Amino acid sequence: VNDCTLCNPANEAVLWYDNRCRITEVNNNDYPGYCRVIWHAHVREMSDLSVDDRRHLYFVVETVEEALRRVVRPDKINLASLGNQVPHLHWHVIPRFANDPHFPDPIWATPHRQAVPRSFDRMTLQRELVRRLAE
């Protein structure tokens, strides 16, 4: 029995997908625009993928980064692939601001301050992703 939460997602907000991976928006009010790129198959590490699959996954991650920079305009992008709690290959793509709750630490650290309310145009982000990944 596979009880992996990424193999069996509930209430995922999928912004884009193809036959290998998907981009989801993480529901986190403190970090608007926070996305994950999730490989569909249950593999643990990047090095479990073929070279072509690695290139594809990383291209999608870079494309999410570009789209977030354009639409959310953060001070910094954080890329992270941890998988310690869910050992199913996925990347976090996190727009960061100098006054966000955890800056300059990772978002999983102890917060330093309250979140500043922030919003972005979700439809524009999705359009950017679809346009860039169609090329």
- Chain residues binding Zn ion by CB under 5 A are 4, 6-7, 42, 88
Of 4 and 82, nearer to Zn ion (C-beta) is 4
For the CA atoms of 90, 81, 54, 42, the dihedral, rounded to the nearest 10 degrees, stands at: -40
Closest residue to bound Zn ion by CB: 4
Minimum distance of Zn ion from residue 57's CB (angstroms)? 15
Compute the least distance from the CB of residue 125 to Zn ion, in Å.
25
Strands (E), the chain: 13-17, 21-25, 35-39, 76-80, 90-96
The residue (of 4 and 14) whose beta carbon lies closer to Zn ion is 4
At closest approach, how far in Å is the CB of 65 from Zn ion? 24
Q: Which two tokens stand for residue 83?
A: 């998988």
CB neighbours of 81 closer than 8 A, spacing ≥ 6? 46, 89, 90, 91, 92
- Cβ nearer to Zn ion, comparing 7 with 109: 7
Q: Shortest approach of Zn ion to residue 9 CB, angstroms?
A: 9
Closer to Zn ion by Cβ: residue 16 or 39: 39
Give the span between the Cα atoms of 87 and 7, in whole angstroms.
11
